[in-house]
A and B are shown apart, each in its own frame.
Chain A
Amino acid sequence: MTTSAIEIRDLVVDYGTRRILDDISFDIHQGEIIVIMGGSGAGKSTLLRCVLGLKKPTSGHIHMLGTDICHAAREELYELRKKMGVAFQQGALFTSMSVAENIQLPLREHTDLDENTIQIMTRIKLDMVNMLPYENLMPSELSGGMSKRAALARAIIMDPKILFFDEPSAGLDPITSAELDELIIMLKETLKMTIIVVTHELESAFAIADRIAILGEGKLIQIGTPEEIKNSQDDRVMDLLNRTPRENNMDKDEHLSRLTQDNR
Chain B
Amino acid sequence: MIKTINNLGTTTIEAIEQIGRTFNLLLIIAWKIVQPPYRIFPIIKQVYFIGARSMTVILISGATIGMVLGLQFYNTLERFGSVGVLGSAVALSIIRELGPVMTALMVVGRAGSAICAELGIMRISEQIDALECMAIAPDKYLVAPKLVAGILSVPLLNFVFNVVAIGGGYFVGVILFGVAEGSYVNGMIDSVLWSDVRLGLVKSLIFGLLIMLICCAKGFYMHLGKYGSQGAEGVSRVTTDAVVISSVSVLFCDFLIGALMS
Contact = CB atoms under 8 A, between A and B. Distances in A.
Direct A/B contact, Cβ within 8 angstroms: yes
Contacts of A78: 135, 137
Contact of B135 (A54, A81, A95): A81
Given A92-B125, A109-B37, A86 B136 contact: no
Q: How many B residues are at the interface, by size bracket?
A: 10 to 19
Interface residues of A, number: 20
B143 to A, nearest CB: 15
A52 B130 CA distance: 10
A195 B125 CA distance: 23
A92 B135 contact: no
Contact of A90 (B37, B125, B133, B136): B125
B159 to A, nearest CB: 30
Contacts of A105: 134, 136
Which of A54, A88, A92, A105 has its CB near the most chain B CB atoms (within 10 A)? A92
B70 to A, nearest CB: 42
B135 A86 contact: no
A78 B134 CA distance: 8
A224 interface: no
Nearest to A164: B133
A82 interface: yes
B136 A109 contact: yes
Contacts of B127: 92-95
A79 interface: yes
A54 B132 contact: yes
A119 interface: no
12 contacts: A52-B129, A53-B132, A54-B132, A54-B133, A78-B137, A81-B133, A81-B135, A88-B126, A92-B125, A94-B130, A106-B136, A110-B135
Interface of A: 52-54, 78-79, 81-82, 84, 86, 88-90, 92-95, 105-106, 109-110
Given A53-B133, A88-B129, 8 more contacts: A52-B129, A52-B133, A81-B132, A94-B127, A94-B130, A105-B134, A106-B134, A109-B135
